[in-house]
Amino acid sequence: MEAGQDSKKKDILSNIVTKRYAEKHDSRTCHIHDLEYYNTTYNCLGISVKDMVGDRKRSFGNMMNALHRAIVELTNMQSGGIGFIHFDSDVAAYIEEENDEEIIEIFHEFFLDLNMSTRKGCENPYVTFNFGLATSKKGRRASFLMLEAYERGDGRGNPFIFPNMVFKIKTGINQEEDTENHDLYMKALDVTAKRMVPTYFNCDSKANALFPADTIGIMGCRSRVVTNVNGREGSLNRGNVACVTLNLVQMAYQSEGDLDRFYIILDENLADARGVLLHRFQTLCEQGIFEEYYGKGYYLGAESCDAREMLKNGTLSIGFIGLWDAMAVLKGRTIDSASIIKEYYEEAIAIIRHMREYTDKITEEDHLNFSLLATAAEGVTGSFAQYDSAHQGKDFEVCKKGYYTNSFHVPVNMDVSYQEKIALEGEFHSLCNGGSITYVEFCEMPGRNVEAVQEIIEYACKMDCNYIGINFPMDHCTDCGYMGRIVGKCPCCQSAAIRRLRRVSGYLAEEDKFTAGKRKELKDRRFHMAANSMGVGRYDG
């Protein structure tokens, strides 16, 4: 499978992608994501349950079975994730006489199916459920029971990896104590404290508050699709078409400490990012495989049976990684404290603002929805650093650590309180209109310490983060079901069968499946919050 994909990527790079952009991809300057789908399909999509299963009357269980089949089918027609924008109101319409246990069992079966290897024969569908705003009796029930089913895990209590669940926070609906869904919010926090899921989408942030909360949400692992220069706004029936990631650190090496020179190189690479995205868009319009797709009505404009009319509603994202690594190279200085970050903060913000002004400008000029993405950089984080280490940055400390830091995130190995981390990242969120996330690391599962989770989420909302998650090492014994931080063997039954779940780029994943770069990052991570008290420290594992 992997070898086949590699030869397909090579073939696309040499025969379809323009030579200049292929070189930029090869030199890890401007990475083209999902290259193997370059000429066939788009990345991700926001959707409603009704879009996928219709509104025919049937039992809740039958509806969820139909939904699973539709998800698997759609997953094979696109390269990235599927985001249900208001899953709770959606499924409420299908609940009839079923009792609570029956509904939990249906969700349980559904989650088991989602976690089976179905996607392209070897991966699972990347599905995200946005929820938390439905205040109807059935909508609230759906939310509570879905959380309950997720928390229980599979038959042996093992946590589910999929789906990703995103709780939408909104004042007047669930944030304050006297609001209708505050109890649901508290339940969500309780599950997060044990499972890292749900994550939280802040409907009240500066950028999000401009749009009705029920029309926006997360798709994939962080993609945010909201404005539209070509039609209806909001996240439904639209998605990210394609994205590239710029290597800010490499540009910093090349500019040799000269900020003016850095901007010249950045502008040149932004122009290339625009060029390759336009080329891909054009290629998809001409060669994309959408015939089966048009009749489904999933995508805005699909009824025209014309790829351009459909895809013009999606976004083209320019992403970036390694902002603080780039600053370290530019300044010739190790950036390892909040006070040093503050010293260079305005210059760092100015770089990201410059990139956002560029995507806004070309959105006007090209009449396509360009957006700025705080890239998750799944595979890229290590491969960029490795390449640069061999070709230009080998004497630099940021290269030696073996990975670059995610988007605008503060260095993961820096001792910083959660308040400082959030305050240093908050302002970047509103600039990254294509998607962003801030994480806070716990040293251990907070478990019963739900207040700590609540405090962090609310502080992040106050600091204007759009999307927030908490991370902790989630180990469990697959023999006896013991959960917690397990160093070595299971303390309960001495079994060595330990499954270690971590989140490094948007989704939960098993630690032993991480790329080398991500593993190095994981090892370097400091935590910002002890499980039972405040404080900073370091993983010793």
Between 458 and 479, name the residue whose CB sits nearer to Zn ion. Answer: 479
Between 229 and 498, name the residue whose CB sits nearer to Zn ion. Answer: 498
Between 72 and 492, name the residue whose CB sits nearer to Zn ion. Answer: 492
Residues with Cβ < 8 Å from 174, sequence gap 6 or more? Answer: 132, 133, 180, 181, 182, 184, 185
Give the max Cα distance, the chain: 68
Torsion region of 431: left, alpha or beta (phi above 0 gives left; psi -120 to 50 gives alpha): alpha
Minimum CB separation of residue 479 from Zn ion in Å reads 5
Q: For tokens 């290339």, name the residue.
A: 272
Q: For residue 439, what is the DSSP state?
A: E
Minimum CB separation of residue 155 from Zn ion in Å reads 16
Minimum CB separation of residue 531 from Zn ion in Å reads 20
Q: Which one-letter amino acid corresponds to residue 316?
A: L
Residues with Cβ < 8 Å from 346, sequence gap 6 or more? Answer: none
H helix runs in 127-181, sequence order:
137-152
Q: For residue 181, what is the DSSP state?
A: T
Between 500 and 520, name the residue whose CB sits nearer to Zn ion. Answer: 500
Minimum CB separation of residue 495 from Zn ion in Å reads 4
Between 355 and 483, name the residue whose CB sits nearer to Zn ion. Answer: 483
State the Cα–Cα distance between residues 212 and 215, nearest whole angstrom.
6
The dihedral sign for the CA sequence 410, 415, 416, 422: positive
State the Cα–Cα distance between residues 443 and 220, nearest whole angstrom.
26
Between 460 and 490, name the residue whose CB sits nearer to Zn ion. Answer: 490
Q: Which one-letter amino acid corresponds to residue 125?
A: P
- CA 533, 536, 541 angle in degrees (round to 5)? 100
- Other CB atoms closer than 10 Å to residue 257's CB: what's the count? 12
Between 354 and 485, name the residue whose CB sits nearer to Zn ion. Answer: 485
State the Cα–Cα distance between residues 195 and 447, nearest whole angstrom.
9
Cβ atoms of 375 and 240 within 8 Å: the answer is: no
Minimum CB separation of residue 194 from Zn ion in Å reads 17
Residue 198: is the preceding peptide bond cis (ω within 30°)? yes
Between 156 and 400, name the residue whose CB sits nearer to Zn ion. Answer: 156
Minimum CB separation of residue 480 from Zn ion in Å reads 3
Between 121 and 155, name the residue whose CB sits nearer to Zn ion. Answer: 155
Minimum CB separation of residue 156 from Zn ion in Å reads 11
Q: For residue 411, what is the DSSP state?
A: P
Minimum CB separation of residue 359 from Zn ion in Å reads 50
Minimum CB separation of residue 157 from Zn ion in Å reads 11
455, two tokens? 């405090």
Residues in contact with Zn ion by CB under 5 A are: 477, 479-480, 482, 490, 492-493, 495
Minimum CB separation of residue 481 from Zn ion in Å reads 7
> Which stretches of 443-485 are assigned E, i.e. beta strand?
467-471, 474-477, 483-484
Between 157 and 275, name the residue whose CB sits nearer to Zn ion. Answer: 157
Torsion region of 99: left, alpha or beta (phi above 0 gives left; psi -120 to 50 gives alpha): beta
453, two tokens? 């989770």
